[in-house]
Amino acid sequence: MTMTKKKIVTLEEANNLFNKAVIIKGGTVIQLLQKSDYQGCPIYIRMIDSKIFEYILQYKGEIYTGYNVITPEKGKKKLNKDQIAQCGALIFTGAITTIENLIEIEQEKMLAKDSKKTVN
């Protein structure tokens, strides 16, 4: 069994992946910003009430989610387009990290299972 090294994704790489994904227009309170794929896992990035940025991903039939609450700077009512894009890239990084951690956990379980077989 070969073990792959955990990939560390920088914010810049996540931003590049985020910008290459399908951008979806529409929505009011809940807006789907992006639908993309990483390591065969679908990822959805949503903005809720203009301040909650959430990822939803599917890994081996299970759903995982995470979110950040990001409010506009003092004196502003809304985030601008660049700030929304940065928030999207940040939450996308969280989704990628979740997938990488799930893959690593799975590999560790397989290694542990293989080592038990060789000991017995």
Chain segment 26-83, per-residue pLDDT in tens: 556 888 899 999 999 999 999 998 899 999 999 999 999 999 999 999 999 889 989 9
pLDDT tens-digit readout, 86-103: 999 999 999 999 999 999
Q: Torsion angle of alpha carbons 61, 22, 90, 25, nearest 10°?
A: -110
- State the greatest distance between any 2 C-alpha atoms of the chain, in Å, as a whole number: 67
**Any domain includes 4:** no
**Any domain includes 8:** no
**Any domain includes 70:** yes
Q: Torsion angle of alpha carbons 70, 73, 76, 79, nearest 10°?
A: -40
3-state class of 16 per DSSP?
Answer: helix
Question: Cα(6)–Cα(12) distance, rounded to whole angstroms?
Answer: 17
CA dihedral sign of residues 72, 78, 82, 85? positive
CA dihedral sign of residues 108, 114, 119, 120? positive
| Model pTM above 0.75 | no
**Any domain includes 5:** no
**Any domain includes 88:** yes
Supply the range of the domain harboring residue 84.
Answer: 21-119
**Any domain includes 9:** no
Our count of domains for the chain comes to 1
**Any domain includes 36:** yes
**Any domain includes 60:** yes
